[in-house]
Copies of this chain bind each other. A is one copy, B any other.
Amino acid sequence: MIIDIHGHYTTAPKALETWRNRQIAGIKDPAQMPSAAELHISDDELRESIETNQLRLMRERGLDLTIFSPRASFMAHHIGDFEVSSTWAAICNELCYRVSQLFPDNFVPAAMLPQSPGVDPATCIPELVKCVEQYGNVAINLNPDPSGGHWTSPPLSDRQWYPIYEKMVEYDIPAMIHVSTSCNACFHTTGAHYLNADTTAFMQCLTSDLFRDFPTLRFVIPHGGGAVPYHWGRFRGLAQEMKKPLLKDHLLNNVFFDTCVYHQPGIDLLTRVMPVDNILFASEMIGAVRGIDPETGHYFDDTKRYIEAAHIDPTDRYKIYEGNARRVYPRLDANLKKKGL
């Protein structure tokens, strides 16, 4: 089985974006604020948006299952207050849940949180609980910078985040550390802010002793870990200067990297540098890079091709495709086992 642990609902019916635009307008003019009940998207519309997009490509590429969360760039936690984020997160999570009900063999939901800059992350817990207990979510996306590129929250090692971590440990679910749209003109969203956040989050873990407080907490760093594997020597050296344990002991029981790296040399580096147990298959399809690579004639984000071509043995390939996902996402594993898979 091939599990893609990083998919977003980037192809939701247009009505979702229209509703969101009305919500944003409603921040300035409360008379325009729509209620959640005003959004109508039928099962047929959901089905079509998935069948013609993600599911079509999954079939073409031979992927079986996607861990599916709301569109990352649309989370935009910097817009409005907690109330705005809360309504928006509930809507987006419900849609991913409905997709998972319509395609139970192909999509398993992961939740966005109703984060808001300057608001205590503990306020996200009711949505998290609902998504796990009622919607069967197997993971969350945690935004380390709800300000959207101004980085006004404390690092992930700060105790303000601990209520989230306590709930994650209780449910045994991992968090993908994933920012949203940048509203800072310095940072291009998918070309700079995403990769920077990956590197930043890793370094926040490295400099802290977070995983001493939460030995079973698990973070997935997307986009191949940002700059981390390419600079693995730098990170090992910095940890050594700080008298931290070896990174394999200090971080690699808790931190994992996905394979959203869109060319063969990048995947070759990732699989060469990182222990195979820390690599999880993903493509973030349909996402930031949708075109065909003129150098290969294949989609940039068809990451399965790179894994197939990487110099790794079948046991390792199994771990990357399936085994590690079952270990890092135990609720997914339990679901699959219930189905006899």
Contacts and interface: CB of A to CB of B under 8 A. Distances in A.
Contact of A192 (B199, B230, B261): B199
Contacts of A184: 151
A195 interface: yes
Chain A residues touching B, range = 35 or more
Interface in A262-302: 262-266, 268-269, 272-273, 288-291, 293-295, 300-301
A268 B195 CA distance: 21
Contact of A233 (B185, B226, B261): B261
A21 interface: no
B266 A230 contact: yes
A212 to B, nearest CB: 18
A190 B293 CA distance: 33
A236 B295 CA distance: 10
B233 A230 contact: no
A49 interface: no
B149 A151 contact: yes
Contacts of A288: 234, 237-238
11 contacts: A144-B186, A151-B186, A153-B186, A155-B185, A195-B231, A199-B227, A227-B227, A230-B230, A233-B300, A234-B288, A268-B269
The 5 closest A-B pairs by CB, nearest first: A233-B263, A233-B262, A237-B289, A227-B227, A230-B230
